[in-house]
């Protein structure tokens, strides 16, 4: 089983677990609230119930994070030029990178339009860059290149046939990819991971080309 297949299976399991956890903790809070209404305010049983409710609320917050990982977060999708969005974001963070860290950006020479949540896309790139910087121990380069790629039916069982925009990042170590993977999957794309000893790690995000965007090449 490939790393992508393992991540996909984990995403699916997380979605089921998150849904059940949310139902359980919501029921616990509802029943405890009914019981609390019958108790004297400030009494020892009421204080205990209050603590249990706060614990259950932390459980609901955890389930929300799992929902994000599972690709069930609310998205504000619109047609955006992926190329321009990534270029603008990277140019904006260059000045805030630690000394000794460099981003090498290779954009496309033409627009690449996809129907995605622009803020979540930028959050995803930001998360990958931060993890790369942490892994580099103070010095190194993050390579980001953007390109289009077509998949046929036999090319990948993880994507529908069609044109996709690939955003590839290369670093010297591993990644924390949970929320990033969930967002990409929810947007109709996928994420691949290639890690080889001595060659670093390459992560590639594939987002579907929008029919409303003209892609050259």
Residue 120 reports pLDDT greater than 80? yes
Contact between 80 and 113 (Cβ < 8 Å)? yes
Of 187 and 74, the one with more pLDDT: 187
Average pLDDT over residues 175-181: 65
Q: Report the CATH fold assignment for 78-208.
A: Heat Shock Protein 90 (3.30.565)
Residue 158 reports pLDDT greater than 90? no
Q: Read off the pLDDT of residues 20-71 as tens digits, 9 standing for 90 and up.
A: 888 888 888 888 888 888 888 888 888 888 899 999 888 888 777 777 666 6
Of 180 and 173, the one with more pLDDT: 180
Q: Is 158 left (phi over 0), alpha (psi -120 to 50) or beta?
A: alpha
pLDDT at 215: 43
Nearest-angstrom CA–CA distance, 193 and 175 = 9
List strands edge to edge, sheet with 190-196.
101-106, 140-151, 162-171, 200-208, 190-196
pTM comes to 0.64
pLDDT at 182: 77
Residue 174 reports pLDDT greater than 50? no
Average pLDDT over residues 185-191: 85
Q: Read off the pLDDT of residues 146-157 as tens digits, 9 standing for 90 and up.
A: 998 888 765 555
């Amino acid at each position: 089983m490939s790393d992508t297949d393992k991540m996909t299976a984990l995403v699916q399991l997380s979605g089921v677990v998150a849904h059940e956890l949310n139902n359980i903790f919501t029921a616990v809070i509802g029943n405890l609230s009914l019981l609390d209404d019958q108790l004297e305010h400030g009494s020892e049983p009421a204080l205990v119930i209050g603590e249990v409710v706060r614990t259950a609320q932390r459980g609901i917050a955890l389930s929300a994070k799992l929902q994000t990982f599972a690709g069930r977060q609310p998205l504000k999708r619109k047609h955006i030029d992926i190329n321009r969005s990534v270029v603008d974001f990277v140019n904006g963070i260059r000045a805030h990178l630690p000394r000794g860290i460099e981003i090498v950006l290779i954009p496309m020479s033409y627009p690449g339009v996809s129907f995605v949540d622009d803020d979540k896309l930028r959050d995803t790139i930001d998360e990958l860059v931060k993890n790369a910087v942490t892994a580099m121990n103070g010095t190194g380069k993050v390579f980001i290149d953007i390109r289009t790629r077509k998949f046929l039916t036999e090319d990948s069982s993880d994507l529908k046939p069609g044109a996709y925009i690939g955003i590839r990042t290369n670093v010297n170590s591993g990644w924390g990819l949970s929320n990033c993977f969930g967002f990409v999957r929810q947007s109709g794309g996928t994420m691949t991971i290639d890690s080889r000893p001595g060659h670093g790690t390459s992560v590639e995000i594939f987002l579907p080309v929008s029919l409303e965007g003209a892609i050259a090449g």
